[in-house]
Amino acid sequence: MNFNNNGTHKIPTPSGKKFEARNSLRTHLAALLFLLIVGNWANARADVESDIQKVIGQMTLEEEQAMCYGNGSLDGGSCPRLGIGPLRMGDGPLGFHRAGPGTAFGSGLVIAQTWNPALQYKVGEVLGKETNTDADMLLGPGINIIRDVVTGRSFEYYSEDPYLNGRNAVKIIQGIQSQGVAACMKHFVANNTEKNREGSFSNLDERTLREIYLPGYEMAIKEGNVMACMSGANYINGVRCYGTPLLRDVLKQDFGFKGMTLTDWSSVNKDLTTESAAMSGMDVSMPSAAKYANLAAAVRGGTLKKAVLDDMVRRILRVSYFAGVSGWGPSSPTGEKNTPANQAVARKVAQEGIVLLKNTGNILPLNKNTVHTVCLTGLNANAAHCGGGGSSGMSAPYEITPLKGLENYGGLTVNTQTTLSGAVAAAKTSDVTIVVTGRGHGPVETSPTTDAEGGDAANMDFPVAEKELINAVAKASKKVVVVFVGGPMEMRDWIDQVPGLIYCAYPGMEGGNALAGILFGDVNPSGKLTFTWPKRDTDQPSFATRGNNPIDYSEGVFVGYRGYEANKIVPEFAFGHGLSYSTFQYGHLRVSSPSFLESDKVTVKVDVKNTGTRAGQEIVQLYVADKISGIPRPVKELKGFDKLSLAPGQTGTASFILDKRAFAAWWPGFGWYAEPGQYDLLVGSASDDIKLTSTVTLKRTPGATAPAMPTAKSARAAGAEAENAKLTGGVQVATKQKGFSGTGFVTGFVAVGSAATFNVASASPAFTNVRLRYSNGTGKTQTLGVYVNGARLTQTVLPPTSGWDSWKTKTESLVLNQGDNTIAYKFENPDSGNVNLDCIDIGGSMAAQTRAPYKGVKAVIPGIIEAENYDDGGEGIAYHDTTNGNYRNAYRHDNVDLEASTDAGGGFGLGWTEPGEWLNYSVNVQQIAKYTVEIRVARIDAGTSTLHLESSGGDITGPMEVPSTGAAQNWTTITKKGVSLNIINNEIRLCCDGGGFNVNWIKFTRETP
């Protein structure tokens, strides 16, 4: 580092994008350091960190503050006195376009569908080279999981599978950063909808977060050494993503992220205080200061530690140094845009990323010696798609549409038709008809057929006019090929009528040339789907929650193919599906050891032979299946893939290395754990096309730790009143309320750090259900950290109740040790809020959580649940009368008060109920859908009461008002529409918020989509 005469650090002012005039020694050291740190800050020399600390020491608080927010739409902060210029940023993940046209790759899908890590690295190199022309950081890649295929930005992302998503992210990032450009992964985390993108609430449990939505970020940090991370603009578990403690606790501490975090372009201006956002781990507010204009004042006022601000600046300076901002740090390679070499990479991506979905009768490839006339029709026949779709939209220097690609191919007469009648007439006289259809790709959500940032497609409905077009030309000609562009739509109304189907996603600026080569066999298709293509929109595991807010991720880890397989739903096209003009034969599957310790690595190999007449590429996929597990797991999970290039008759070997993580699941309260036992290794060409299977046995490494296993022994304790807990951090004790075990007091959490700690005893080590009775009258979701024996195991998400006197229960399954334990609930909402606790009830191990339905018969949905048929052995069953002298002594058990219905409604009425009580019903949900719920109720008392229904731990109805009917047998029906249910939901809980009513039955009627 160079210092001026007064000892302060002074960085030379740049003369352009990056300062190049350096003395020879500095240049030599910078070049050496670049080799050390490119893409890998973890290996940076200690003196760099020391120099950064010296720079921070020379800054005033206001100068540090100014580094932490943007000073323009795409520029970060700066410190002019010390010569530190701003980080210049630019979109986007599909091509750099801060300063005019650039090489356009079209979509993350087409990049991922290559399944080619070496090619994806080259994509990253191109992105880095082109960013170097006018910026220091590329705002990409986007690595959100594709949870719902109609989400507006799904085309930007890579996959529904966390492993495949991460593998793509690593290679793209490594390629970008090889050019001395900082990559910025986005949007952290669970940002899976575009509708109301700044007001959507994603609620999900820790296991789902860890297994599905976080691995891409973890791999990008640990393997890709990514330099920056952008948060989502949404909420996660009730907290804005740019203020979630996950930034600090998981991203930075757990994953070891050393780079900088920044907001999406909404700045730190909502919901959070300056201090809470900074302490949660958000380093930079973009594009403006907003509440970060108060950072210096917060430090002076003692509400923010200077060490926090120093760390924020330190992370920014690391990235600035890496990217050579203002000539500080290693110089970057000279940038270049739109070179023939870059455009060749775009063409190669389209060639390998376009997927052949259907090829009945080998209609493809087309014979160039016999096909001379082409009828080309469909809404996307000559549509350009690089220029829209939001921040990833490109201004490409040119774009080869399907029409232009066929014209470039040469030797063809292309008859383009834009009307139905014209297309039918041309189809009858042409050698082949090509219908290019699918979605549009515009700057805003303009219709249900658009993929774009800022909105989601309404559904998967196929355009009526296009459906009629395809069916009409299919009747006129037997040689019809459909080319589908954009996000998936339902095909069931026409797919059986056409022999050929190609999926392009958005193939980028060279897509038309690539498509023509595939159609005529110059290119042998090798792309495979990275998501599951549903037959029906309603088949998607996440469909039941679409349009909801908050969005409860009720499918849990059963996202994409995991959910289809668990629910035994056959999709249109499976995850990993993709055809070739070649054929391949699998054989000789072998494993380095059929039995191994969890600490060992296992090598898996399989031979693949090209039995076709063309050179081709096969993507060999390896899945792992846990044969017996103590927690619910997917049928199988992708854990490896290998793309082989094989000449006709050639045999190649696909090779995979599996470590402990490949067999592990996230166990609540413990972490990643690979259960000892048998696993199947399944090798195939798609998730639904498994060719070979081998069974292996994993053994526990001696001395290795393990979670407490589920046990039938119950770890029971009496209900613990909140006021009897150890109360710290200003918890207040208020009015008397009824608890599980009698009258008690309410405790109110009033500040960050407030905590209530309970002492409980467990008869044995076990997963134990701990039920928390709470009220939340704030109108917004609150969160409490849950600590067992001092260790933070999870957080419990507490949705609003209808008022401070309206009580709900929330259950967490926690691991308790044998003997004495402490369970602490700690208020962690970054801003002021409140939540009241009444008591906790401890009991029921994981094994005991599974209840038998009444008389062994689950209630079927759609259908009616009779109120009296609650599960045998239920915990905390709703009741009123605790003696045998209830109405006509008609109780079944648990002293529940039953009374035969006196009208045509039939069955029994069940009551009376008290606030906070509930009834569980085992159910068999037949269809993922939205339902209308009707509940038959009666209430003697004046005024109204409320109830709600829960499933999979989440509220599915919200409060439903129970009116006064004047008598216990004066029945009325209350209704709630649009209630979402998933096939994996296996329990319905009726929760009594207000109590004082009778229930006759609950009816679920499927709504028409």
Catalytic residues: 264
CA dist 909 and 900 (Å) reads 6
Q: CB–CB of 303/275 below 8 Å?
A: yes
How large is the C-alpha radius of gyration of the chain?
30
For the four alpha carbons of 952, 956, 958 and 961, in that order, the dihedral sign comes to negative
Helix (H), strand (E) at residue 352: helix 340-353
Where does residue 9 rank: exposed (0-12), middle (13-18), buried (19+ CB within 10 A)? buried
CA dist 171 and 185 (Å) reads 12
Pull the structure tokens for residue 861: 């949905």
Alpha helices in 549-680 (DSSP H): 561-566
Where does residue 35 rank: exposed (0-12), middle (13-18), buried (19+ CB within 10 A)? exposed
Q: CB–CB of 198/266 below 8 Å?
A: yes
Nearest to 331 by CA among 183, 181, 174, 124: 181
CA dist 731 and 751 (Å) reads 8
CA dist 614 and 521 (Å) reads 10
Q: CB–CB of 41/182 below 8 Å?
A: no
The Cα angle at residue 111 between residues 110 and 114, in degrees rounded to 5 = 85
Burial 407-428 (b: 16+ CB within 10 A, else e): bebeebebbbbeeeeebbbbbe
Q: CB–CB of 658/639 below 8 Å?
A: yes
CA dist 257 and 250 (Å) reads 9
Residues 6+ away with beta carbon under 8 Å from 1009: 459, 537, 538, 929, 930
Q: CB–CB of 937/1000 below 8 Å?
A: yes
Alpha helices in 158-300 (DSSP H): 162-177, 206-208, 215-222, 246, 274-280, 295-300
First-residue to last-residue Cα distance in the chain: 65
- Residue carrying structure tokens 């035994």: 568
Helix (H), strand (E) at residue 981: strand 972-981
CA dist 751 and 99 (Å) reads 47
Angle, nearest 10°, between helix axes 162-177 and 117-131?
40
